[in-house]
Homo-oligomer: A and B are copies of this chain.
Amino acid sequence: MSTVPDTPPRSPKAEQTRQSIIDAAMRLFRTNGYEKATMRAIADEAGVSIGNAYYYFSSKEHLIQAYYDRINAEHAEAAAAALAGTTTFSERLGAVLLAWVDVAEPYHEFAGKFFKTAAEPTSPLSPFSSESEATRLAAIDLHREVIDGSDLKLAKALRAELPELLWLAQMGVVLFWVHDTSDGQQRTRLLVRQAVPLIDRALRLTRLPGVRGLVDDVVGLVRTIKPKP
């Protein structure tokens, strides 16, 4: 769930300091927003020196990662709860996506700033970066669970790639969400509610004679394009 710490914890004391810095950062991000929460202010709030904050987190961006992890952890929990008792694919996918919108809602205000940072390919916060691999794989696994616990019948090849594709779709939802200025991000919820049944129908169509070959080729393309061999 949690990504690899910047520096491996050595003593309990050190781990405690590490946590207090994260807590301070969380508090200030929430109350003051991203820009106002300077490294000096965070270090101050945590009762340590600036240099010490940098001893544990090699950059401000790395500090934000803790924030990301928290959202992801909350989502994993909320999604698990929402998945319990649902069996249809539509219900399950919708539950997971809407759970994310719910969990992320309090963070929407600064989400733009976070997004900006995460968008840069070299940033450790990028959803495609190696630093966030653990988080990414966990999220993909969640979608695998969505599929496995459902009634969906698919060709083996597609079934194998689908979790990653659904995760990509989720990233699309996030992109839409970040730009969504509607009250309570209603438009994003509308998008999810309407798109999910369509995805369901589309997936069930993949077994159609004329469509099948195309799907195989799409899967082949995905495999060609995916991360380095």
Contact = CB atoms under 8 A, between A and B. Distances in A.
Interface of A: 112-113, 115-123, 126, 128, 176, 178-179, 181, 187, 190-191, 194-195, 198, 201-202, 205, 208, 210-211, 214, 217-218, 221, 224-225
Nearest to A129: B179
21 contacts: A112-B121, A112-B122, A115-B119, A115-B121, A116-B117, A116-B119, A116-B120, A121-B178, A121-B179, A121-B181, A126-B179, A128-B179, A190-B225, A191-B221, A194-B221, A194-B225, A195-B221, A201-B214, A208-B208, A208-B210, A211-B211
Contacts of A218: 198
A interface, over-half SS = helix
Q: How many chain copies does the complex carry?
A: 2
B217 A198 contact: yes
A214 B202 contact: yes
Given A112-B121, A176-B225, A194-B224, 7 more contacts: A116-B117, A118-B119, A187-B225, A190-B225, A198-B218, A198-B221, A201-B214
Contact of A224 (B115, B122, B190, B225): B190
Q: Interface centre among A117, A118, A187, A225, by most B CB within 10 Å?
A: A225
A191 B225 contact: yes
A31 to B, nearest CB: 20
